[in-house]
A = this chain, B = another copy of it.
Amino acid sequence: MSALATAIYRGRERVPALDPADRGLAYGDGLFETMRVSGAAVPWWDAHLARLAHGAQRLGIPKPDTAWLAEAAAALLADAPSEAVLKLVLTRGVGGRGYAAPETPQPTLLLSVHPLPAPFDGPLTLRWCDTRLALQPRLAGLKHLNRLEQVLARAEWNDAAIHEGLVLDAAGRVTCATAANVFAFIGGRWLTPALHEAGVAGIARGWVLANAPGAQEAELRPADIESAGALFLCNAVRGILPVGRLGSIDWAPHPALDELRRRLRRDVPAF
């Protein structure tokens, strides 16, 4: 699946191609954002940019100017379908052969527009993945480009009837799905893993934590998930999708989940 449109910048200069010496390729030395486009705009733009800035700060990559980036994205979206996905990759730019970063890195920015996935309203069918996520507090929570663990976890199944897989960290704690965060309804509240040592702190997850009454981070084991009253996955492309089945366990629609989805739709009509 190729992108519908792509723009590559070195600093603020648009360039025709990626430099083969880019540290994004050499070391995964960068970050990305995957954004829902609706009405030719990005509803959660500010949240994506805030996460990008936070990740850049933690990795020591200069962050792009916000106003300039908004213009670059708007220019690319002007000719794109009004409902789509916008992907942003920010790398530390071109470097030499070694791990030492250039003293004054000139970041690479890659923007690409992709078709919106086929409409799907759930419920999702999940599996447990065997691949465990390593514990790395220095990188936990960031949407960085080192994603081989997710590739390995996603490669565990090719049954199209299974939509996603839940992944544990090396300590046996539920962390996330391969490309989404997870929430479980336990004791009348929505709980989600804390992600201090592994996982990606998603934008939709942030919305739920800020908007679902009583939602909070918690340590969750597989048994907690399997005995939850309701379960959903969320990400910035699909919003909130209910889980209907995990292995041999089934869940019926749950009023708390229906209410949360209505609330999300009021806030972000795209979902």
Asked if B154 contacts A144 (CB within 8 A), the reply is no
CA distance A136 to B18 in the complex (A): 30
Per-residue CB proximity of A1-25 to B under 8 Å, as 1/0?
A: 1110010100000001110111111
With A20-B18, A134-B136 known as contacts, the answer to whether A27 contacts B145 (CB < 8 A) is yes
Total copies of this chain within the assembly: 2
Chain A residues bordering chain B, tally (CB within 8 A): 61
> A265 contacts the other chain (Cβ, under 8 Å)?
no
Asked if A148 contacts B18 (CB within 8 A), the reply is no
Closest to A153 in B: B99
> A96 contacts the other chain (Cβ, under 8 Å)?
yes
> A150 contacts the other chain (Cβ, under 8 Å)?
yes
> A155 contacts the other chain (Cβ, under 8 Å)?
yes
> A185 contacts the other chain (Cβ, under 8 Å)?
no
> A28 contacts the other chain (Cβ, under 8 Å)?
yes
Closest CB of chain B to A57's CB: distance in Å?
13
Asked if A97 contacts B85 (CB within 8 A), the reply is yes
Closest CB of chain B to A122's CB: distance in Å?
17
A2 partner residues in chain B, CB cutoff 8 A? 21, 94
> A110 contacts the other chain (Cβ, under 8 Å)?
yes
Asked if A97 contacts B146 (CB within 8 A), the reply is no
Closest CB of chain B to A112's CB: distance in Å?
6
Asked if B135 contacts A59 (CB within 8 A), the reply is no
Among candidates B6, B16, B25, B131, residue contacting A138 with C-beta atoms closer than 8 Å: B131
> A75 contacts the other chain (Cβ, under 8 Å)?
no
CA distance A100 to B129 in the complex (A): 14
Asked if B25 contacts A145 (CB within 8 A), the reply is yes
Asked if B155 contacts A138 (CB within 8 A), the reply is no
Among candidates B59, B99, B139, B179, residue contacting A150 with C-beta atoms closer than 8 Å: B99
Asked if A97 contacts B87 (CB within 8 A), the reply is yes
> A34 contacts the other chain (Cβ, under 8 Å)?
yes
